[in-house]
Amino acid sequence: MAGPTIRPRRLRTTPALRRMVAETSLEPRQLVLPLFVREGLSEPVPISSMPGVVQHSRSSLLGAVAEAAELGLGGVMLFGVPEHKDATGSGALDPAGILNLAITDVVGEVGDALTVMSDLCLDEFTDHGHCGVLTPDGRVDNDRTLAIYAEMARAQAHAGVDMVGPSGMMDGQVRVIREALDAAEHTDVSILAYSTKYASAFYGPFREAVDSSLQGDRRTYQQDGANAREGVREALLDVEEGADMVMVKPALAYLDVLRQVRDAVRVPVAAYNISGEYSMVEAAAARGWIDREPAILETLTSIRRAGADVVLTYWAAEAARLLRR
């Protein structure tokens, strides 16, 4: 009995052969590490729903970014957690606010060795947990929020950030931020637009990470998970408004959207492997239900394969160490 002539298994015979023909690469430079820094801490505080991730103090943050630079990561994305939150998120604009101080600290620590990025959004700073300011009847006010984002962009640029990451899903946010940066002569500060961002249950652990108690939900501004075309439209709009890079978020439940966005635009595309995606793997691994390290690399490879040039992931440092082995 003659066997098959065509045998795809041949190219899977040895590790060297599999490595040679691998279509997708995963490299530390493609990974961005999100980091949380909380005002008033003297020691880092563990985030219970994200085992292995902490809220940093200003000083422990410096150790984390130095390590990120040493590992050759592409960058870090900074999130600030203020001690006091209010209705308008005023801590976001204060030059002495935690995020603005952390930006200056981090740039001072790593210089040009990493791309230093910052979240440009109000939800970490508002007491109601929304990404913008509210109208008297409790809706998120798009245009009043834009004015605050413009000021926030100027504050972050003044603090020294390389790239701002507007993540609030307000219409027109990229244009307003670009204009504000340019008017303040920060023409070199780039914009990573969270262009295609869905209202997701997988953001759950992030709420603990930034001490946020969200009132209601974000469904009037973040996208409906049923819509892929609209996700592409949002990305195209942000490119038109001046985004230097766009992003799809979450990653795993939206890999199809990621592929469509990658095919539609001509700028680098990032994807955010978010908190809930991280915690699912960690929780299953802690129970011995899945093999943790291969699961991490398989997850990150799937996001790259779907079209992400850059992946934001809480595993960035660990993955870089695994890739060195």
Active site residues: 197, 249
Among 36, 149, 203, 254, binds ligand PBG (CB under 6 A): 203
In this complex, which beta carbon is closest to ligand PBG, that of residue 65 or of residue 221?
A: 221
CA dihedral 11, 13, 14, 16 (to 10 degrees): -10
Query: Stretches 54-62, 116-124, 185-193, 281-289: which one binds ligand PBG (CB under 6 A)?
Result: 116-124
Contact call for residue 195 and ligand PBG (CB under 6 A): no
CA distance 85 to 91: 7
Q: Peptide bond preceding 15: is omega within 30 degrees of 0, i.e. cis?
A: no
**Least Å from the CB of residue 182 to ligand PBG:** 24
| Interface residue with ligand PBG, options 39, 123, 162, 234 (CB under 6 A) | 123
Q: Which is nearer to ligand PBG, 19 or 89 (CB)?
A: 89
> E strand or H helix at 37, and its extent?
strand 31-38
Max Cα-Cα span within the chain:
80
Does position 221 interact with ligand PBG (CB under 6 A)? The reply is no
Residue 119 in contact with ligand PBG, rule: CB under 6 A: yes
Smaller CB separation from ligand PBG, 52 or 111:
52
Scan for tokens 């699912």, then name that residue.
Answer: 280
Quote the least distance from Cβ 74 to ligand PBG, whole Å.
Answer: 17
Q: Which of 118, 145, 167, 223 binds ligand PBG (CB under 6 A)?
A: 167
Minimum CB separation from ligand PBG for residue 14, in Å? Answer: 38
Cα R_g (the chain), whole angstroms: 20
Per DSSP bridges, beta strands 31-38 and 75-81 are parallel
Q: Is 206 in the site for ligand PBG (CB under 6 A)?
A: yes
Q: Per-residue x/- mask for ligand PBG, residues 268 to 297, rule CB under 6 A?
A: ------xx----------------------
DSSP string for 219-249: TTTSBPTT-SHHHHHHHHHHHHHT-SEEEEE
Name which of residues 175 to 194 contact ligand PBG (CB under 6 A): none
Stretch that binds ligand PBG, among 65-73, 118-126, 137-145, 291-299 (CB under 6 A): 118-126
- How far apart are alpha carbons 319 and 321 in whole angstroms? 5
Total site size for ligand PBG, rule CB under 6 A: 10
CA dihedral sign of residues 211, 217, 222, 228: positive
**Is residue 311 a contact residue for ligand PBG (CB under 6 A)?**
no
Which residue in this structure is represented by tokens 């700028």? Answer: 267
Euclidean distance between CA atoms 32 and 53, whole angstroms: 14
Which one of 32, 69, 99, 121 is in contact with ligand PBG (CB under 6 A)? Answer: 121
Task: Name, in order, each residue with C-beta under 8 angstroms of 245's C-beta and a sequence gap of 6 or more.
Answer: 163, 190, 191, 192, 193, 267, 268, 269, 270, 310
Residue 62 tokens read as 């410096």
CB of 120 to ligand PBG, least distance (A): 8
Nearer to ligand PBG, 51 or 113 (CB): 51
Binding site for ligand PBG (CB under 6 A): 119, 121, 123, 131, 167, 203, 206, 218, 274-275
